[in-house]
Amino acid sequence: MKTKATLKNISETLHLSISTVSRALKNHPDISEETKRKVMELASIIEYEPNTHAINLRTNKSKIFGLIVPVISNFFYHSFISSVEEEARQIGYSLLILQSGNDTQIELDNLKLCRLNRVAGVFVSIATHTKEIKPFLKLDELDIPVIFFDKVPSFEACNKICLADAEAATLAAQVILEKNKKNVLAIFGNTELSITQKRQKAFSEKLSSHPAQINVIITNADSAAEALQLTLQFCSSQQRPDTIFSMSDEILTGVMKGIQQLRLKIPSDISVLSICNNNFIPELYDPVITFIETSGSDLGKLAFKRMMDHLSGKTFVQQLTVPSRLIEGGSI
Amino acid sequence: MKTKATLKNISETLHLSISTVSRALKNHPDISEETKRKVMELASIIEYEPNTHAINLRTNKSKIFGLIVPVISNFFYHSFISSVEEEARQIGYSLLILQSGNDTQIELDNLKLCRLNRVAGVFVSIATHTKEIKPFLKLDELDIPVIFFDKVPSFEACNKICLADAEAATLAAQVILEKNKKNVLAIFGNTELSITQKRQKAFSEKLSSHPAQINVIITNADSAAEALQLTLQFCSSQQRPDTIFSMSDEILTGVMKGIQQLRLKIPSDISVLSICNNNFIPELYDPVITFIETSGSDLGKLAFKRMMDHLSGKTFVQQLTVPSRLIEGGSI
DNA sequence: TAGTTTATCGCAAACCTTTGTGCAAATGTT
DNA sequence: AACATTTGCACAAAGGTTTGCGATAAACTA
C-alpha cells in the first residue's frame, strides 16, 4: 500500500484541499496553526517530497546551473568547476556539466540542452572557433543569465569574467627584468588563441620597453611534446638561455621534461618561470617552480557571485577580471 | 508578439487539437500526411521545442544521470567523469555532477537531489565512512538504477564496477621479481582505505611467495608530502633501496620530488614503479615512469555500459572488474 | 442590528505534454 | 444497399504544484 506522497494524497487523507496543504507546508499565514501542524506531521510521516518536475514546470525554472567548457580534463576548468560546484551546493543548486570538445556544433547542442532544461543560469567558456553568439543571447531572452568566463566572445554587451591575461605576462616579464636575466627562451601556446596573443604581446612590450639588453627568443608550442622539443633544441648547445618562460601548465610540463632529460640543474644551470593555474604542477618539481598564478577557483568564485547578482535582479552587464599574482618558488 | 512555442499555440493557429499536433510531430500513423506537413512546417518556423519539464513530469523521468563522487579534483574521477560524460552525450543524456567531499551527510543530500530530479540513473563512488546503503537501495525501488564504482559498499546485492585492485599490486610485485630487484621501498596510501589494504596484502603475498631473498620495507603515506618525506628518509643513506614502489599517482608525485631533490638518476641510481590511473603523471618525468594502469576511463565505459543494460531491462545484479595492465616506461 | 473586518480554507486555472478512447466521415466489401 | 473497416481527428484525463480569487463563518465595529 505504498501510495505516492503527493499533496493530493495528503489532502484526501486529511479532508483538506490541495491548495490548503500546499500553503500549510509553506507556512502560509492564511492557514491555521492547527492545520499546519497536522499537515506537517503527516507529510513527515509519509516522507512527502515535492515533485521537482512539477515545480519546474510550474515555475519554468530549475535549480540547476549549466556549465559548458571545451574539456573538463584541464587543470584550469577543473578548479573552476570544483569551486562553482561547491558554491552552488551551498545554496541548493546543482551543476549540469557539459563538454563541447571545443566543437562549435556540440556547443550549440549543449546550449540547447541548457535551454530545454530551463537551467537557472549558464557558465560558459566558448570553443576556440565559436564566432556566433546569438544562440547565447537567446538564453538571456528567456531570463537565463549567461556568464562567459575565460574564453569569452569579443562581443561587448555580455557578462565576462576573465583572467588578467596580459597582466600575468607583464608580471612575468617584470620578474625576469628584476632577476637581471639576459637570455630568455619564451614558449607560448597556439598563436591562434587570443590568450596567446595577449600574453605574447604584453610580454614582448614589457621587455622591449626596458633599456637593458635582453635577448629573447619567442617560440610557440601546441602541446607539451612540442615544448619538450623546443627545450631540447634550444638548450642543447653551449650558449643555452639562462631562463625559460612558459605560458601555461601544459607547456611547463614539456619544458621540465626537457630539463630533466638534459640533466640541467635549476636554478643554477637554468631558471624557469611559468604562468600556471594553481600550484599543482609547479610543486611537482624540486625546486618548486616560481609562477604567476591565474587561479581557476578564484575565477569560479567571481563568476558565481556575478551569477547570483543576476539572479537577484542586478542584471547589468559587466566585465570583470581576476588579478594574477606571483608565487615564489625556487626556480629563478 | 513573441508567443511561446507550445503545442497549444500551434493547435490554435492551425485549428487543430493539441493531441493531433502532438501526434503529428511524433509522426503518428493516425495523422494524415497533409496535416503532418503543415504542423511540422509551422513548428519549424516558430522553433517549437517540447518542454522538457512537462515531459519529465509526465514520464516521471529525466534524461539526466546523477554522478556522485567524493571529489572531482582527482585524476581518477576526472577521467571517469570525462568518459561517462562523453558516452552520455552521444545518447542525448547529461550529467548532474555532485561532490560529496567524502562527507556522508552531503552524500545523502546529493542522493536526495538525484531522487528529486528523478534522474535516469546514478553513478556513485561512496564516501570513505559510508556504511548505510539503504538510501541507495531506495533509489532502486524508484526504478533508478544505481551503479557503484571504484569505492563500493561491501553489501552484496548491488551493481559494482571496480578496478582490479589486488591484481594491479600483484602485477607490480611480479615486475619487481622479474627485474630481479632486491631492496624495495613500497609506499602505500592511508591504511584505513580498503584499496590500500587490498593492494598491500596482494603485494606482500606475491613477494613473500617467492623464494628469492627480497628485502621489502612497507610504508604508508597520507599525502604527496608524506611520500616525499619517506623517500628522503629512506634514500638518504648509502644503503638506499634499489626500487621504490608507489601505490598511486599522488604518492608517485611525492616520491619523484624526493628523487629530484636527492638528484638520483633513474633507473641507474634507483628504479621506480607505480600504480597510476593514466599516463599523465608518469609521462611528466624523464625517463617516463613504468606503471600499472588502472584506467578511470575504461571503468567509466564499463559502468556506462552496465547502466545502459539496466535501462534496457537487464536488471540483474553484477560485479565487474576492469583489468589492469603494465605500461612500460624506462624507470625500472 | 447591520455592516465590516479577519481568519481559514476551497475552487479552478495554469504550466505543457502524452495517450486511451470515442466519434464521424470516408472507404471498402458482399 | 447494408454492413464492416479504415482514416483522421478531438476530447479529456493525468502527471503534481502554485496562486489569484472567491466563499464562508466568526469576530468585531458602530
Q: Does A105 touch chain B (CB under 8 A)?
A: no
Secondary structure E strands in B236-297 = 243-246, 271-276, 290-293
Name the one residue in this structure whose C-alpha cell is 538564453: A139
pLDDT, one tens digit per residue, over B48-104 is 999 999 999 999 999 999 999 998 877 788 889 989 999 999 999 999 999 998 899
Q: Is the distance from CB of A65 to CB of A108 less than 8 angstroms?
A: no
For position A182, what pLDDT does the model report? 92
Residue keyed to cell 643555452: A240
Q: State the pairing for strand pair B94-99/A94-99.
A: antiparallel
SS3 annotation, chain A = CCCCCCHHHHHHHHCCCHHHHHHHHCCCCCCCHHHHHHHHHHHHHCCCCCCHHHHHHHHCCCCEEEEEECCCCCHHHHHHHHHHHHHHHHCCCEEEEEECCCCHHHHHHHHHHHHHCCCCEEEECCCCCCCCCHHHHHHHHCCCCEEEECCCCCCCCCEEEEECHHHHHHHHHHHHHHCCCCEEEEEECCCCCHHHHHHHHHHHHHHHCCCCCCEEEEEECCCHHHHHHHHHHHHCCCCCCCEEEECCHHHHHHHHHHHHHCCCCCCCCCEEEEEECCCCCHHHCCCCCEEEECCHHHHHHHHHHHHHHHHCCCCCCCEEEECCEEECCCCC
B195 pLDDT above the threshold of 70: yes
| pLDDT tens digit sequence for B5-24 | 899 999 999 999 999 999 99
**Residue A175, pLDDT above cutoff 90:** yes
Question: Across chain A, what does the average pLDDT equal?
Answer: 91
In this prediction, residue B153 carries a pLDDT of: 87
pLDDT-derived band at B2 (thresholds 50, 70, 90) equals low
- Using the predicted structure, report yes or no on whether residue A211 has a pLDDT greater than 80: no
- Cβ separation B97–A95 shorter than 8 A: yes
Q: Is B260 on the interface with A (CB under 8 A)?
A: yes
Give the integer Cα–Cα distance in Å for B234 and B227: 11
Q: Which helix (H) or strand (E) holds B146?
A: strand B146-149
DSSP state of B322: E
CB contact under 8 A, B82 and A73: yes
pLDDT in tens, A282-316: 999 999 999 999 988 899 999 999 999 998 877 78
Q: Kindly state the average pLDDT of the residues A150-161.
A: 86
Q: How far is CA A244 from CA A184, A258, A274, B98, in A?
A: 6, 11, 8, 40
Report the predicted TM-score, pTM, of the whole model to 2 decimal places.
Answer: 0.86
In this structure, the dihedral spanned by the alpha carbons of residues B192, B195, B196 and B200, taken in order and rounded to 10 degrees, is 130
Residue pLDDT, tens place only, A189-201:
999 887 899 999 9
Amino acid A265: pLDDT: 93
CB contact at 8 A, A155 and A130:
no
DSSP secondary structure of B194-241: HHHHHHHHHHHHHHHTSSS--EEEEEE-SSHHHHHHHHHHHHSSSS--
A238 touches strand C (CB under 7 A): no
In whole angstroms, D26 C1' to A62 CA is 42
Does A322 have pLDDT greater than 70? yes
Candidates B55, B80, B87, B94, partner chain A, best to mutate (most A CBs within 10 A): B94
Q: What is the pLDDT of residue B1?
A: 46
Q: Is the CB of B6 under 7 A from strand C?
A: yes
> Is B154 a residue whose pLDDT tops 90?
no
Predicted local distance difference test score (pLDDT) of residue B257 = 95
Q: Is B89 on the interface with A (CB under 8 A)?
A: yes
For testing the chain A interface, which of B52, B144, B269 should be mutated: the one with the most A CBs within 10 Å? B52
CA neighbor of B150 nearest in space, from B98, B194, B86, B204? B194
Q: How many residues does chain B have?
A: 332
Closest chain B C-alpha to A328 CA, distance in angstroms: 17
Name the grid cell of A239.
650558449
Length B55 CA → C21 C1' (Å): 22
**pLDDT averaged over chain B?**
91
pLDDT (tens digit, 9 = 90+) per residue, B232-264? 999 988 789 999 999 999 999 999 999 999 999
Alpha-carbon distance B222 to B230, whole Å? 11
Cβ–Cβ under 8 Å, residues B110 and B68: yes
- A286 near B CB under 8 A: yes
Would you tell me how many other CB atoms lie within 10 Å of the CB of residue A227? 29
Least confident of A207-216, B181-190, B279-288: A207-216
Angle between helices A33-45 and A7-14 (to 10 degrees): 120
Calculate what percentage of chain A has a pLDDT beyond 70: 99
Mean pLDDT of A144-162: 89
**Is the pLDDT at A232 greater than 50, yes or no?**
yes
Tell me what the mean pLDDT of segment B293-307 comes to.
93
Q: Cell numbers 603515506 label which residue?
A: B221
pLDDT in tens, A91-128: 999 999 999 988 999 999 999 999 999 999 999 999 98
Q: How far apart are CA B311 and CA B144, in angstroms?
A: 9
Q: What is the mean pLDDT of residues A249-271?
A: 94
Read off the pLDDT band of A245 (50, 70, 90).
Answer: very high
Query: Are A42 and A3 within 8 A, CB to CB?
Result: no
Question: Mean pLDDT throughout A315-321?
Answer: 83
Kindly give the interhelix angle for A134-141 and A104-116, rounded to the nearest 10 degrees.
10
* Interface contact flag, B56 A51, Cβ < 8 Å: no
Residues of B in contact with A71 (CB under 8 A): 82
Which residues make beta-bridge pairs with A68?
A98, A124
The protein residue nearest D7 (Cα–C1') is: B30
Q: Helices A224-235 & A249-261, crossing angle to 10 degrees?
A: 40
Q: Which of B38, B68, B66, B64 is nearest to B52 (CA)?
A: B64
Task: Check residue B246 and give its pLDDT.
Answer: 97
Q: Which of A60, A95, A6, A65 is nearest to B52 (CA)?
A: A60
pLDDT computed for residue B128 by the predictor:
81
A16 sits within 7 Å of strand C by its CB: yes
**b/e B308-320 (16+ beta carbons within 10 angstroms → b):** ebbbeeeeeeeee
How is B3-55 classified by DSSP, letter by letter?
A: ----HHHHHHHHT--HHHHHHHHTT-TTS-HHHHHHHHHHHHHTT----HHHH
- Cell digits of residue B85: 560524460
Residue A331 — very low, low, confident or very high, per pLDDT cuts 50/70/90?
Answer: very high
Instruction: Give me the mean pLDDT over the A235-255 stretch.
Output: 92
Strand order in the sheet with B319-322: A319-322, A159-163, A146-149, A121-124, A64-69, A94-99, B94-99, B64-69, B121-124, B146-149, B159-163, B319-322
Are the Cβ atoms of B253 and A285 closer than 8 angstroms?
A: no
Lowest mean pLDDT among A11-15, B155-159, B223-227: B155-159
